[in-house]
Structure 1
Amino acid sequence: RLQEKERLLQELNGQYDELGKEVGAGDTDEVTFDTTFSRRHLQLMRCADFFHLRCPLSDLIVKAIQKNDFLSRLDDEQTAMMVDLLAVSSYKPNDDVIKEGTEGDSMYIVAAGELLVTQAGQTLRSLTTGDVFGELAILYNCRRTATVKAKTAVRLWCMERQTYRTIITNKSKKKREQLLGFLKTLVHELCSRGHILYPLSKIIDSMEEVKYQDKDVIVREGAEANAFYIILKGEVLVTKNVNGHQKQIRRMGKGEHFGEQALIREVLRTATCSAEGPVTCLSIDKDRHTIPPLHLFLWDPVTLGVGGFGRVELVMNHEEYYAMKRVSKKHIVAKRQEEHMLFEKKILKATQCNFIVSLHAAFKDTRYIYMVMEFCVGGEIWTKLKEVGRFDEPIAMFCTACVVEAYAYLHKKNIMYRDLKPENLMLDIKGYVKLVDFGFSKEMVHGDKTYSFVGTPEYMAPEIIKNQGHDFAVDFWSLGVLIYELLVGSPPFSSSEPQKIYAKILDGVLKYPPYMNKYDASNLL
């Protein structure tokens, strides 16, 4: 809009110049305009007046954005959009703009007046024209850490979280669509040459080859569906029980598939598939062993952990110990975590990996949701790290290798983890490291991007903070942060204030302690 106003102003100045030439060329003292020109002239004058009024305010907003550690990283186009989309609000003396402890979704820039910032009744500082406050709220839902009260009559520019995200994500999506358009012809060319595309190779990597002899039953009608099949070689006969007799439905050959519903939900087979001669298939299996919840015994005195999510308690089944995570339904609804809980259960139920904690059962009552998981007797890596200060390189390498194995398994299944930190790494009875807590995980096709703002501040990748859209690469950013913390004892980007953590991450300045110079870890990071 500002560029359009500048263009109109230039057009107006040009027409004034032409008008001056016409007046100088003639002898008449009177100049007349046709109706069309007069209306256009009036429109240009109004736009020019608005531009001149707006320009000083725009400069003030831009300067305020540029001097803020977080907002200064916006590009010119995003900054211009912010200038245009800021809303104006006014407050009287002693009015509270934001209150300590309340949740908010807006940031503010002071246009005029003075405000006081207080925390627990103590005055911290004052805010005047050009100052920015509350910017953390446009990133995610959080409680205000201080109260901001108008000392005089004030006028503020306000930006809501949804508006900010729209500005950031629209730019990223537009750029992504443009790049995808450029790549369409390249992808077509690669396909025509017979190149195997990356997503297809990943699907193949996650499947197992299974061979059958003539007349072998691959799946039986009425049985529980637990696998999906693609025929590589041979023929498969599909039959269905009709009045006690097997009726042939169809024949399937190379390249055809069956049983896909098994990967979506719990169903029974609707037909029998058997081999006609030797058959080779690719298969994805989802068989799981579960423990009947009625046979669990709760050890009331033993609590393994307590957090914002709920409580983890020790339970027993036939002399085997398990960790039972108990989460309040009320808490889940209040935090809008319904989808996250369901997805966490789905991931753990479908997971069979030695480096990811196993889920054995899940059930609920009127107040809680329960998830019975493998009991990792070694406890958290975070606890061990705090006990010794920092790990030696061999221990850090072993922990990292376990995480990489877990990542490889998850990424093959199109799952981003997004919550790596020492608190989410557990030691099992054999001393292996296992991932726990999949509340921030997301299922996504390789090549796509998501725009969620999730994770632990110290471990967030720059693209998450900037709302530019992120993919599986963020897991490896957090892996680098983990390696650093294991070797040093603290994360590379830390502060008591989240805004400063984000600013440090975006700056990307990494400082190594002297003893790390001899390690190859610094090169890896």
Structure 2
Amino acid sequence: MAYRWAKYVEGPEDWGKCVMGMDSQVRQARLQLEKQYLQSMQLINNQQQMCGAQKHRPTHEDDMVRKSRGQQIVPEPLPNIIDTEVPRFPKSSCAFRQIVKAIQANEVLKRLGEEQLDTVVESFTLTQYGKGDSVILEGSEGNTMYIIAEGELFVTQHGQPLRTLSAGDVFGELAILYNCKRTATVTATTDVKLWEIDRQTYRTIVTQKHKQRRQAILGFLKEAHTLNGLSDTQLSRIIDSMEECKFHPGDIIVQEGDEGKSFFIILKGEVQVTKEVNGSQEQIRIMRAGEHFGELALIRNSCRTATCRALRDVTCITMSKEDFEETVPLDTVELPKVDLLDIEALHLTGKKRISFPDRPNVAPVPLRLQDLVPVLYSEGRYMGQPVTLGTGGFGRVELVSWGPGKPVEYFALKKIRKVHIVQTCQEEHVKMERQVLLQSHSPFVVRLYETFRDSRYVYMALEFCEGGELWTKLREAKYFTEEVTIFCTACVVEALDYLHSNRIVYRDLKPENLMMDKHGYVKLVDFGFAKLLPKGEKTYSFCGTPEYLAPEILLNEGHDFAVDFWMLGILIFELLVGRPPFCSSDPQRIYSRILDGEIYFPTYVSEAACSIISKLCRNRPGRRLGNARNGIRGIKKHRWFHKIKWEKLAAHQLSAPTAWLIKKGSPYVNFKRYSMDLSAEEDEFSGWDEDF
């Protein structure tokens, strides 16, 4: 087996045979090929290291099937950054250079813009620790990043020595991106001085600068006569498609007489505009920050009428004609006049009533918590204990039954620990999950029938998807055939189409959050990260799963519905290959690979699959398939989906190729078994859950 590298995949290259409908012999042959490949790749990697090669190539780690569930990064509430004063502390030129050098050596932080970098450096404070002091304790929650100014520290993990840190080294940097537990202990072996910055300060700076930069660029675009007729939402999409480029003094940015293919906005520096007159260049004007040129290239097939040359170091943002044509006109489909989460609709009064779409003869009735009876395991190690369908940091999902008559109706009862919700400041996210699900009516989104509360838990009575979790099925199969992957993805596209049309961004797409009904159709579950997002706006929460994070989330640039398309591309890759394209045991390496944006495809992945993944996983959100002028229709029309009849899929009239994954037997046969929860939960009476 071999790998092929691609950033954008186009054209009918020979990508190897597509493995469809694999039987056991084919699977065994493929596993043997993979084993041979890993051995050969190890030899190649060794040779590359001996030759000093730096370019990343697939390693043994890349080829491992993802066996553990993705770590969930829970969003934290952000303060109003507009009103937040960022602390600044004067530093010597030597200290300034030391901090800059350390930051630029980090794969994620080195991507900060110049203004962001300067302000971040100015915000570091100096602190001191004595010999023997513990700076970081393994297992504690982190909030601060450190750069060593003077002295040495020693790092241990599980009591075992790892390495020594000295002046200029960085540690604890993940903590300024999101709340995470420290994975090692760092102890001072001498008296030390450390530069430190906390997460709130860092995120405030980066977010503030991105918002200010975006607002300034929006103002520049509004001054371009060619773009006069575009709305703020359309201009925002253009910004999302533009890329930054730099020019040195004397560099020609555009040449008179060349075909016009790009539009430029100057962010920094000066540009000289000249025109040839009688065989010599005559200066017309000097352009500075905020001015733009080349806009006619976006709408006409014309040649440049002047030459633009950098007088000093110049930073521009630019957009090609091709990207412009893909981006506008936008919003060709009018959104509903009433939002899915219309404010009036959220204040529901009285008792909600449920109905069972598969059994129209059953009359709607009130559903009460005391009427839901736990289903017990009828055999095996946990016989007689309540059936648990899944567990997580916030609680458990249990199988319950209801019905005075026959047949019995089953529900998945989600129990969320109230104390944990309050401790992690997740009240608003849980309420948002409830609101989204109560108002959602799509066959590709799990139904929420009722919610309850008591002193310890809030409860959600959800539709029971007896086909089980797609994550579990993927682990059993190791990877899916293309036919199965196409079908699963098509169900997800239908779910995203429904949510986005109602202005809901999902933000946590992965196999763990996909369930199958008894027919094999896939449904989205777990809406804890979902958010109502007004048209044209961005949100700045840092949330998701490391392997699925979009670049704009990592860079705190602000994100919108385009993150769901990025995650869709990652999902397709994982379903086909058994792991995400960017994976590692080290989160920093994952993030570096995401920001590099280089995807390595095994040769058995079809050309069409490579194409759709690469178009969904473009680094600039405005260029992603699904986020251009055709919207989600652009995804549905991609050739990878040519066999999908979308109307029949929406009506559940297609035969699901996933049906063979579903086992027959007891209601819980398709779920992993869990022991009974014997922990004592605390009471919580703050009242945040009064709507449940």
Question: Do both proteins adopt the same fold according to a TM-score greater than 0.5, normalized to the shorter chain?
Answer: yes
In the alignment, which of 69, 81, 95 is matched to residue 133 of structure 2? Answer: 95
What secondary structure sits across from 1:327 in the alignment? strand
The answer to whether the 8 A contact 1:293-1:361 is kept is no
Residue type of the alignment partner of 2:414: K
Asked whether 1:161 is paired with 2:199, we answer yes
In the alignment, which of 397, 400, 416 is matched to residue 312 of structure 1? Answer: 397
What secondary structure sits across from 2:599 in the alignment? coil
The answer to whether the 8 A contact 1:289-1:360 is kept is no
Deviations 1:87-133 (A, max 9, x none): 11111111111111111211001111110011122110000011000
Identical amino acids, percent of aligned pairs: 53
The answer to whether the 8 A contact 1:359-1:374 is kept is yes
The aligned residue for residue 608 of structure 2 is 520
Alpha-carbon distance between aligned partners in 2 of 1:56 and 1:261, rounded to the nearest angstrom: 55
The aligned residue for residue 480 of structure 2 is 391
Alpha-carbon distance between aligned partners in 1 of 2:491 and 2:604, rounded to the nearest angstrom: 24
In the alignment, which of 365, 371, 377 is matched to residue 295 of structure 1? Answer: 371
The aligned residue for residue 111 of structure 2 is 73
The answer to whether the 8 A contact 2:506-2:530 is kept is yes
The answer to whether the 8 A contact 1:205-1:412 is kept is no
What secondary structure sits across from 1:204 in the alignment? coil
* Larger relative strand fraction: 1
The answer to whether the 8 A contact 2:336-2:502 is kept is no
Asked whether 1:406 is paired with 2:406, we answer no
The aligned residue for residue 229 of structure 2 is 189
Alpha-carbon distance between aligned partners in 1 of 2:579 and 2:329, rounded to the nearest angstrom: 40
The answer to whether the 8 A contact 1:261-1:267 is kept is no
How many aligned residue pairs are there?
401
Residue type of the alignment partner of 1:170: Q
* Larger relative helix fraction: 1
The answer to whether the 8 A contact 1:199-1:446 is kept is no
The answer to whether the 8 A contact 1:109-1:156 is kept is yes
Alpha-carbon distance between aligned partners in 2 of 1:352 and 1:450, rounded to the nearest angstrom: 25
Taking structure 1 as reference, are residues 289 and 343 closer, same or farther at Cα in structure 2, changes over 3 Å only? farther
How do residues 444-455 of structure 1 correspond to structure 2 at under 5 angstroms?
444-455=533-544
Residue type of the alignment partner of 1:524: I
RMSD over aligned CA atoms reads 2.5
Pairwise CA distance, 1:408? 0.5
Pairwise CA distance, 1:188? 6.2
Residue type of the alignment partner of 2:392: G
Residue type of the alignment partner of 1:296: L
The answer to whether the 8 A contact 2:401-2:411 is kept is yes
Taking structure 1 as reference, are residues 289 and 263 closer, same or farther at Cα in structure 2, changes over 3 Å only? farther
How do residues 441-520 of structure 1 correspond to structure 2 at under 5 angstroms?
441-516=530-605, 518-520=606-608
The aligned residue for residue 324 of structure 1 is 413
What secondary structure sits across from 1:170 in the alignment? helix
Residue type of the alignment partner of 1:204: P
Pairwise CA distance, 1:321? 0.8
Taking structure 1 as reference, are residues 462 and 439 closer, same or farther at Cα in structure 2, changes over 3 Å only? same
Pairwise CA distance, 1:267? 5.6
Alpha-carbon distance between aligned partners in 2 of 1:161 and 1:408, rounded to the nearest angstrom: 35
Taking structure 1 as reference, are residues 125 and 372 closer, same or farther at Cα in structure 2, changes over 3 Å only? same
Alpha-carbon distance between aligned partners in 2 of 1:289 and 1:156, rounded to the nearest angstrom: 64
Pairwise CA distance, 1:261? 6.3
The aligned residue for residue 336 of structure 2 is 204
TM-score normalised over the length of structure 2: 0.55
Kindly indicate whether structure 1 or structure 2 has the higher relative contact order, using CA contacts under 8 Å at least 6 residues apart.
2
The aligned residue for residue 528 of structure 2 is 439
Alpha-carbon distance between aligned partners in 1 of 2:443 and 2:337, rounded to the nearest angstrom: 18
Unaligned runs of 5+ in 1: 1-49, 208-226, 229-259, 269-287
Deviations 1:155-193 (A, max 9, x none): 1110111111122111210111112223446776357xx
Alpha-carbon distance between aligned partners in 2 of 1:460 and 1:166, rounded to the nearest angstrom: 20
Deviations 1:303-339 (A, max 9, x none): 2112222111111122111111111111211222111
Pairwise CA distance, 1:62? 1.4
Alpha-carbon distance between aligned partners in 2 of 1:379 and 1:267, rounded to the nearest angstrom: 33
Alpha-carbon distance between aligned partners in 1 of 2:417 and 2:349, rounded to the nearest angstrom: 29
Moved over 4 A (4+): 183-188, 196-201
Alpha-carbon distance between aligned partners in 2 of 1:291 and 1:198, rounded to the nearest angstrom: 44
The answer to whether the 8 A contact 1:106-1:137 is kept is yes
Computing the radius of gyration over CA atoms, which structure comes out larger, 1 or 2? 1
Taking structure 1 as reference, are residues 289 and 510 closer, same or farther at Cα in structure 2, changes over 3 Å only? farther
The answer to whether the 8 A contact 1:98-1:149 is kept is yes
Unaligned runs of 5+ in 2: 1-88, 232-327, 351-363, 377-385, 614-692
Asked whether 1:133 is paired with 2:265, we answer no
Residue type of the alignment partner of 2:335: I
How do residues 118-129 of structure 1 correspond to structure 2 at under 5 angstroms?
118-129=156-167
Taking structure 1 as reference, are residues 378 and 131 closer, same or farther at Cα in structure 2, changes over 3 Å only? same
Pairwise CA distance, 1:84? 1.2
TM-score normalised over the length of structure 1: 0.72
